[in-house]
């Protein structure tokens, strides 16, 4: 697997491509919003209804776990100090790609953090 890029846009693009391949290999049709959507990155459809998917990536490996940031703290020089947290009512599942190529697909109701989660341990093993 290709290593995740370090620049935020390239890293995010890599995560979305990985998610599309993962869903496609499992028989889902995959759709992307035409314009930017703040709440989800992809839509997957296995024929039983649409699943809004938020895609996150991480290169941060600490104490045997990957730390995945879920909130957004600006992203430009004019940051107002406002932190935007993921709202589980606005997406259905979280897809995570980490630096060693492993992936997780987690239902939004199971995501246990507001600003971040740790993957690679027993919590999201299923």
pLDDT tens across 44-61, in order?
999 999 999 999 999 999
Contact yes or no for 22/97 (Cβ under 8 A):
no
Q: What is the pTM of this model?
A: 0.85
Q: How many domains does the chain have?
A: 1
Asked whether residue 29 is assigned to any structural domain, the reply reads yes
Asked whether residue 3 is assigned to any structural domain, the reply reads no
41 vs 12: CA distance, rounded Å: 10
pLDDT per residue over 3-39, tens digit each?
555 676 788 889 999 999 999 999 999 999 998 877 8
**Which tokens go with 25?**
């290999």
Asked whether residue 92 is assigned to any structural domain, the reply reads yes
Asked whether residue 1 is assigned to any structural domain, the reply reads no
Contact yes or no for 70/111 (Cβ under 8 A):
yes
pLDDT value at 76 more than 70: no
**Closest alpha carbon to 38 in 2, 6, 85:** 85
* pLDDT for the residue numbered 42: 95
Q: Which domain holds residue 36?
A: 8-119
Work out the burial of residue 20: count CB atoms within 10 Å of its CB; fewer than 13 is exposed, 13-18 middle, 19 or more buried: buried
49 vs 51: CA distance, rounded Å: 7
Q: Which residue has the higher pLDDT, 59 or 71?
A: 59
Asked whether residue 126 is assigned to any structural domain, the reply reads no
Tell me the pLDDT band of 125, cut-offs 50, 70 and 90.
confident
In this structure, what CATH number is given to the domain that contains residue 94?
3.40.1350.10
Helices (H), 1-126: 8-25
pLDDT per residue over 89-116, tens digit each?
899 999 999 999 999 999 999 998 778 8
pLDDT value at 78 more than 80: no
Tell me the pLDDT band of 81, cut-offs 50, 70 and 90.
low
Asked whether residue 48 is assigned to any structural domain, the reply reads yes
């Amino acid at each position: 697997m290709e290593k995740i890029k370090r620049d935020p846009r390239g890293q995010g693009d890599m995560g979305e491509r990985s998610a599309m391949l993962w869903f496609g290999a499992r028989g889902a049709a995959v759709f992307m919003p035409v314009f930017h959507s703040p709440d989800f990155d992809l839509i997957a459809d296995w024929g039983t209804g649409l699943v809004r998917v938020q895609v996150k990536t991480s290169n941060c490996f600490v104490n045997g776990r990957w730390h995945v940031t879920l909130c957004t703290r600006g992203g430009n020089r004019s940051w107002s100090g406002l932190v935007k947290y993921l709202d589980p009512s606005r997406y259905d599942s979280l897809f995570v790609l980490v630096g060693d190529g492993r992936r997780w697909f987690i239902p939004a109701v199971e995501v246990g953090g507001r600003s971040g989660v740790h993957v690679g341990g027993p919590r999201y093993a299923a």
